[in-house]
Amino acid sequence: MDSSGNASPPDEAQYSHRWANVFITVFLVVQVALPLRYYLRPKDDRQDERFAWRMFSSLGRRKCTVDMLEFRSADGAGKPVKLRRDYQGTWVTLLQKMRPLVVEKVLRTRCQADEDIKHIDYKRQCTTTAGASVAPDHVRYDCAEQRLDTVNEASP
């Protein structure tokens, strides 16, 4: 208050501090909310850890192998894809992590490069840090329909 009893307007420093506090609060909320979204998902939907607190997860420590088979329209046998020969190490690592966009792009690109391919099967098998086997991930890319489908392991 000033000498006449009126409230003095907030000075410039108080105003800038208020905005700084708002910015810091919003920043911290975003930093907590983004990783928290990962943990609020159903457990079977937690594949991509880019926006998670990875220190709490053992997903990144899994050992995974990837197999891809190309099925040509002429014959019914699948031809194995030599991933290490055909792709740079970074792409193979991303395929092992089963990043959906990467898997789809790799499969789609192979289909576009060879029109004789009917579909491509991608299968990832992982083991935990304790050595236990995890249920395999198996998807099939239909080249004609340009569609990626999950394959149920119980079906033939």
Convert the pLDDT of each residue in 118-144 to its tens digit: 999 999 999 988 888 988 999 999 999
3-state secondary structure of 42: coil
For residues 16 and 68, the model is more confident at 68
Residue with token string 């119980």? 154
43 pLDDT band (50/70/90 cuts)?
Answer: low
Radius of gyration of the chain from Cα atoms?
26
Q: Which of 98, 89, 82, 81 is nearest to 134 (CA)?
A: 98
**Inter-residue contact 140 to 149 (CB < 8 Å):** yes
Entry pTM: 0.62
Confidence of residue 98 (pLDDT cuts 50, 70, 90): confident
Q: Looking at the predicted structure, is the pLDDT value of residue 31 above 70? A: yes
| Separation CA 141–CA 41 (nearest Å) | 26
pLDDT of residue 80: 94
Mean pLDDT of the chain, nearest integer: 81
Using pLDDT thresholds of 50, 70 and 90, give the confidence band for residue 156: very low
Per-residue confidence (pLDDT) for residue 22, from 0 to 100: 93
CB atoms within 10 A of CB 128: 13
Check residue 44 and give its pLDDT. 60
- Residue 108 CA to residue 104 CA, distance in Å, equals 6
Read off the pLDDT of residues 45-93 as tens digits, 9 standing for 90 and up: 556 655 555 555 555 667 889 999 999 875 678 899 999 999 999 999 8
